[in-house]
Structure 1
C-alpha cells in the first residue's frame, strides 16, 4: 500500500535507534532530515567510518546491549530501525536462514507470547548459523522497551526494518503478530510490508529490499513510500550480447556500441504518473564534485557476477543505466572507457568515493578502516533510507540535492569524543568493545549455492 496523502508528522521529536547501523546509511538520511539517531554497530571499521562522519555510535553487539545495557540507552528514543545482517538469508549466502524460516517464525510467536529470554536463547543455540537469529533482535528490542523502567515501559512509536527480499516472509509474520496478539504487554501496531526497488526512489542502482513500517495503535496507519522514479528493466542490448556469446562460445568483449544498442533509448521526461526517469551511473559520476574529479563518459561496467548461467559472461551495463546491486565486490567491477571511437581500454575501477555515490552517499563520505568496499555494499542507501523515514514519520520528502553536497567530516576532536562515547576511550577500543575474532563469520554446516557465480545480481 502506498499513499499520496498530505504530510503531517506523527511525532513531535523523532529519535532513531539504528540497530546493525553499519557505516551510517540510515543515520546519514536522518542527518539530512534533521532527525537525531544513535547507531549500534559491532564492526570496528564501520565504527571508524561512523566516527569520521560524526555519527553517534555504540561499538557493541546489538544482542549484548539488549541483555546488559538497555537501560543506558536514551529514554527519549521513540523510533526503532534496523537491517539485520543478511548473509544467511541472501541468495548469495549459505542459505541457513532461508531453510530455517519456519523455525524463526516459531521464535517470533514464542517471543510475543512472553516466553523468557533465557529459554529462547538456549534454543537458539541449535541454529546452524547464529546470525540467523539476529533477525529477531528488532522484535526483542521492541519487547524490551515495554519492560524498561528507564523508559517507564513506554513502547516504541514507530518501527522501520529493511532486509533482502527473502526476509519478506518473516516481515509478514512480524506484521501478523504485531497486529494480532501484539507484544506481551498488549501493545499492538498497524503494519505495512512490501518489496521495494531502490531505483524507483532515485538511487542510481538496481537493488530490491523487503521493508516493514509499523506504527503503534493510536497513530495514523502507515504507508510505504510513494515511488518517485520509474522502474528499471533489463534492455534488449544485454540479451543480444548474451545470445552472441552463447552462439560463438567466446568470452564477451565490451564494445562502445553496447551503450547505444537497441533498448537503450532516451529515458524521457516525467511521465503521466509524475515519475521521473531512473537515475543512471553517469548522472551521479560524470560531473566533478568535492574531491571527485568526475568520470569521463561513455563508460561500460562489467560486474563480478556471472550472467544467465554462463560463467564466462559477465553482466555489462553502460553509464546510462543504474548500477548493478552494489555489494562488497564493487571494487572488482571492471570499468571500460574509450580513447577514440574504435578503441576501448580498461579504465580506473570505482573508487570508494564513487562506490558510495552509487549507493547515494554524499561525495567525500569518509570511508575508514578495513574492508571499505564491504562497508559500502552492506549499507542502506541513504536516499532510500530517507524515503523510508519520511514515509514512516509522515514527513515531507527529502530534496535529493541534500545528499549530493560533499560531506563535511568530523574534526579530530569530535571523532575523539564520539569514540570515547562509543568505545570507552578516545583513541582505542576497550574491553567493552566486540573482539575482532568475534566478528568473523561463524562456521556454517550449510553448503554455499553452486549457482552463485552465475547470478548476474545478488540481492544483498
Structure 2
C-alpha cells in the first residue's frame, strides 16, 4: 500500500544527497525505501550517531562543500533533500530569519537571475544577524551548482525535497516560483521543475505519535510530472476535541483525554486510522526492555515561560507534544502527580516518539538535541515515497532492531566522512563549532550571565 497514489517509479536508481542530515531521520526513511543516501552534517555528535548507525556521512560544512568540494560528490546523486537549520525561523528561535525574510527572498531572485556567487555572498553578509539565516538558501545553491558541475556534465537533480518549520512556508513559496520559472543553466537555457503545492503537514496524520508540523516542498524535473503530496493515513489530533479516529464515532472524550473516542474520516477514498498514542509505542507489555508502564502523563517543558503551572500535559493515550532538543527535561509522572520511574524520558523513548527504531545507536553528546532536530523517519518515508513515486513499506519495519555498524565498518565510514578512520580530518568543521553540546553550554552560560545582571 502507498499513501501517495503515485504512478510507477520514474527514477531507475534514485540516490539521495541529504543536506543538514542530522542523526539520520531522512536517511533511515530512504533505507526503508531501499534508496541509498549520502548525508552532509556539521555537528560531530550527530556524525557519531550516524557512523554507529552505518550511514554514509560527510562530516563537513554544507556551504564549504558547495564552494570547495562539489566536484567530489558522487555524480550519480539525483535527489536533493534538505532540512536547513530552522532555529532563526522557528517560533522557539530568536526570529532573525523572519525579520530578514524579505531580504532573503530578494537573494533567491538574484540566484535564479544568474547573479555571480561573489555578489550573492556579499548580499548575504549584508543581512547580518544570525548566520544560520542564509543556510536556508543552500539547497537552491546546490541545485544551481549541479548545472555547472563538470563531474555531473551539467545534469540537474531530478527531485528536490525540502522540509522546514511552518514559519518558512512563505520562503518555500518563493522557492516554488523560482523552480517553476527555471534555474539558470550555463548554456543559457532554463531548467524547469514541477512543484507540488507547498503545504504544512501534521506528522500525526502519517502515524507519528507526536503533534509536529512541518512545511514540505517537493519538486520534480519537468518531464517527470507534477509530484503529489503524501496522503494522510491517520487522523489529525485536536487537543480541544481529543478523539481517536475509528469506526465507533459518537461519544464524548474525557476532559483529560484519557478515554479518547473515535471520529470518522476518509482520505482519498481510504478510511483513516486512529492517530497513534505515546502509550502504544512506549508500552512495556510486550516485554521490551526499557518500556514504560501505563498510565502515565508527560508534563511539557516547552512554551511554559518557566511557570510549571502553565505547562501542558499529555497522557499516555494521547500523542506526544512536539519533541524538541529539550525533550529530556519533560517530566513523566503518574496521573496522581507522583513521579514515574524514571521521571524523565529516556533518549531511546524520545527517539521512539520520533519513530526511530527502539535500539537506534544514539552517540556523542547532547543526544536530546539530536533527537529534537531530526526528521521523524516515518514522516520522511511518506514524503520520499510521494516524491519518488515509490510504494510505502510497512511502518512496522521502523519498530524493528536497527543493526549497529561493526567497528571496522565505522572506521571505513569515518575515513570517508572525516578523512581519517579514527578522528577528524582537514575537511571537518573546526572543533569549537562542531558540538551542539558545546553550543548548548555556551547558550546556557550566556543565559546565566544575563540572569545575574
> Structure 1 length as normaliser, TM-score?
0.87
The reply to whether residue 223 of structure 1 matches residue 228 of structure 2 is yes
Would you say the 8 A contact 2:164–2:216 is kept in 1? yes
Once residues 41 and 287 of structure 2 are traced to their aligned partners in structure 1, the CA distance between those partners, rounded to angstroms, is 28
Deviation at 1:313, TM superposition (A): 1.6
Are 1:88 and 1:132, in contact at CA under 8 Å, matched by a contact in 2? yes
Q: Number of aligned pairs?
A: 422
Question: What does 1:315-394 correspond to in 2, within 5 Å?
Answer: 315-337=312-334, 344-348=338-342, 349-394=344-389
Task: Report the 3-state secondary structure (helix = DSSP H, G, I; strand = E; otherwise coil) of the residue aligned with 2:155.
Answer: coil
Q: Does residue 103 in structure 1 map to residue 100 in structure 2? A: no
Alignment of 1:232-247 (within 5 A): 232-235=237-240
Query: Cα offset for 1:181?
Result: 4.0
1:330 and 1:3, CA in 2 relative to 1: closer, same or farther beyond 3 A? closer
Query: Alpha-carbon deviation of 1:236?
Result: 6.0
Tell me the residue number matched to 2:280. Answer: 283
Aligned partner of 2:430 in structure 1 is 435
Query: Aligned with 2:272: secondary structure?
Result: coil
Separation (CA, whole Å) in 1 of partners of 2:285 and 2:413? 31
The answer to whether residue 406 in structure 2 is matched with residue 411 in structure 1 is: yes
- Could you tell me whether the CA contact under 8 Å between 2:328 and 2:345 is conserved in 1? yes
CA distance in 2, matches of 1:3, 1:299: 32
**1:4, distance to aligned residue in structure 2 (A):** 5.4
How many Å apart are 1:122 and its aligned residue?
1.9
| CA distance in structure 1 between the partners assigned to 2:337 and 2:381 by the alignment | 41
State whether residues 337 and 347 of structure 1, in contact with CA within 8 Å, keep that contact through their aligned partners in structure 2: no
CA offset at residue 270 of structure 1?
7.1
Q: Counterpart in 2 of 1:313?
A: 310
Measured in 1, the distance between the counterparts of 2:8 and 2:109 equals 34
What are the Cα deviations for residues 347-384 of structure 1, in whole angstroms up to 9, with x where unaligned? 31111111100000011100000010000000000000
d(CA) in 2 for partners of 1:47 and 1:345?
34
Deviations 1:372-415 (CA, angstroms, capped at 9, x unpaired): 00000000000001111000001111210110101111011110
Please name the residue that 1:144 is paired with: 145
Q: What is the alpha-carbon distance in structure 1 between the residues aligned to residue 172 and residue 299 of structure 2? A: 34
Residue 3 of structure 1 and its aligned partner are, at CA, apart by 8.4
State how far apart, in whole Å, the 2-side matches of 1:290 and 1:346 are. Answer: 18
What is the deviation of 1:180? 1.7
CA distance in 1, matches of 2:264, 2:406: 41
Structure 2 residue runs of 5 or longer lacking an equivalent are 243-252, 448-453
- 1:81 positional shift: 0.0
2:96 is the alignment partner of 1:124: no
Q: Secondary structure of 1:430's match? A: coil
Q: Structure 1 pair 183/197, CA: closer, same or farther in 2 (3 Å)?
A: farther
